[in-house]
């Protein structure tokens, strides 16, 4: 994307950049918005050997075909959404080049859609992050049912979200643009007990 | 709150993630132009409403966004099984233990 275009993340109005380092009441939860990443929605047949090898050629990693799994490479992070659907997250501004590479490598019945503007990513971490997750979602966040690297499509504060566990106390949330303000307000409210720090 | 096993995510999930989508296994007639109005209306509008086992269509709306089938007891809410689209139920009313 050209630099002359003024990009605004869905949480532009919250001015998170100016809040960095500020914290309330202990700061038990850390919030960071991974904004402006390229999001590509990828659809194809996971049984198609050519489709799988084409993906591997572009990203250098195997497509995560098992339910609720993810894969991270140098170029992209890929999460499983459905048996025939994945979300590919790439560096800011590189989404068009990656899309062209995919179109050059893949043949047959597949779809690549740039949905970068439709969603944003929040990273939640900190000593009390599990408490915030537990009060926001019905999913079981115990390490046995939600190990590191697993991705779950579920609800977060009743809004749809894809939650990926990066570390024991670090989660990545892919949320819709239209729900981002609501979730930002929810996170502030949910962290009143343990405190929130913007990083 | 029901716990529902999504056959695609292969996990038990909260009912909140799902939305029901009515009766399952409704086959669209291959020859709609040859049907009478009554036959066409029967396909479009007439649905079973059994007391007991029912085969239903559900959508994993907040998860994998796939439709799947469920065999559920409409009296006890017990879910007998969930299975993928295109598959047939292994539990049917004729096998029901009274």
> Where in chain B are the domains?
3-95
Report the gap between the CA of A154 and the closest CA in chain B (Å): 5
A160 and B10 within 8 Å at the Cβ level: the answer is no
- Which of A3-7, A65-69, A161-165, B24-28 is predicted with the least confidence, judged by mean pLDDT? A3-7
Which DSSP helix (H) or strand (E) runs through B80?
A: strand B79-83
pLDDT, tens digit, for every residue of A127-176?
999 999 999 999 999 999 999 999 999 999 999 999 999 999 999 999 99
Q: Which CATH architecture has domain B3-95?
A: 2-Layer Sandwich (3.30)
Instruction: Report residue A80 as tokens.
Output: 């499983």
Q: How far apart are CA A167 and CA A145, in angstroms?
A: 14
- Residue pair A12/A177 in contact (Cβ under 8 Å)? The answer is no
Distance CA B14, CA B41 (A): 35
Are the C-beta atoms of residues B63 and B13 closer than 8 Å to each other?
Answer: yes
Chain A residue numbers with beta carbons less than 8 Å from the beta carbon of B8 are 67, 82-83
For all residues of chain B together, what is the average pLDDT? 93
pLDDT at B98 exceeding the cut of 50: no
Half-sphere exposure (Cβ direction) of A153: Cα atoms closer than 13 Å? 25
CA dist., res. A171 & res. A161, Å (int):
12
Q: What is the pLDDT of residue A26?
A: 80
B16·A85 Cβ contact <8 A: no
The C-alpha of B96 sits at a distance from chain A's nearest C-alpha, in angstroms, of: 32
Among A119, A141, A152, A159, the residue to mutate for chain B (most B Cβ within 10 A)? A152
The Cα B37–Cα B58 span in angstroms is 29
Going by C-alpha positions, the residue among B75, B83, B18, B16 that lies closest to residue B49 is B75
- The yes-or-no verdict on residue A195 having pLDDT over 90 is yes
All structural domains of chain A: 12-36+118-198 (3.30.1360.120), 38-116 (3.30.70.1520)
What's the ipTM? 0.88
What's the pLDDT band for A5 if we cut at 50, 70, 90?
Answer: confident
Residue A33: pLDDT above 90? yes
A36-93 confidence digits (pLDDT tens): 999 999 999 999 999 999 999 999 999 999 999 999 999 999 999 999 999 999 999 9
Sign of CA dihedral A74, A75, A81, A83: negative
Provide the pLDDT for residue A22. Answer: 82
């Amino acid at each position: 994307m050209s630099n002359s275009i003024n990009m605004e993340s869905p949480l532009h109005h919250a001015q998170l950049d100016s809040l960095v380092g500020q914290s309330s009441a202990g700061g038990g939860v850390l919030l960071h918005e991974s904004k402006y990443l390229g999001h590509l929605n990828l659809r194809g047949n996971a049984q198609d050997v050519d489709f799988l090898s084409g993906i591997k050629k572009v990203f250098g990693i195997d497509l995560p075909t098992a339910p609720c799994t993810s894969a991270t490479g140098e170029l992209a992070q890929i999460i499983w959404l459905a048996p025939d659907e994945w979300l590919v997250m790439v560096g800011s501004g590189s989404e068009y080049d990656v899309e062209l590479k995919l179109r050059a490598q893949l043949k047959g019945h597949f779809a690549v859609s740039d949905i970068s503007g439709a969603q944003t990513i929040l990273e939640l971490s900190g000593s009390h992050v599990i408490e915030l997750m537990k009060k926001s979602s019905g999913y079981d966040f115990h390490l046995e049912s939600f190990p590191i690297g697993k991705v779950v499509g579920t609800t977060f504060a009743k809004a749809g979200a894809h939650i990926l566990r990066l570390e024991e106390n670090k989660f990545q949330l892919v949320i819709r643009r239209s729900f981002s303000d609501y979730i930002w307000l929810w996170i502030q409210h949910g962290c009143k007990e343990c405190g929130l720090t913007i990083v | 709150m029901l716990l529902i096993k999504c056959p695609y995510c292969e996990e038990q999930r909260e009912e909140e993630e799902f939305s029901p989508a009515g009766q399952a296994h409704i086959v669209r007639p291959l020859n709609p132009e040859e049907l009478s109005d009554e036959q066409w209306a029967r396909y479009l509008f007439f649905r079973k409403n059994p007391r007991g086992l029912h085969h239903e269509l559900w959508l994993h709306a907040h998860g994998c966004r796939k439709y799947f089938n469920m065999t559920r007891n409409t009296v006890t809410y017990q879910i007998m099984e969930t299975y993928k689209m295109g598959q047939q139920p292994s539990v049917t009313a004729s096998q029901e233990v009274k």
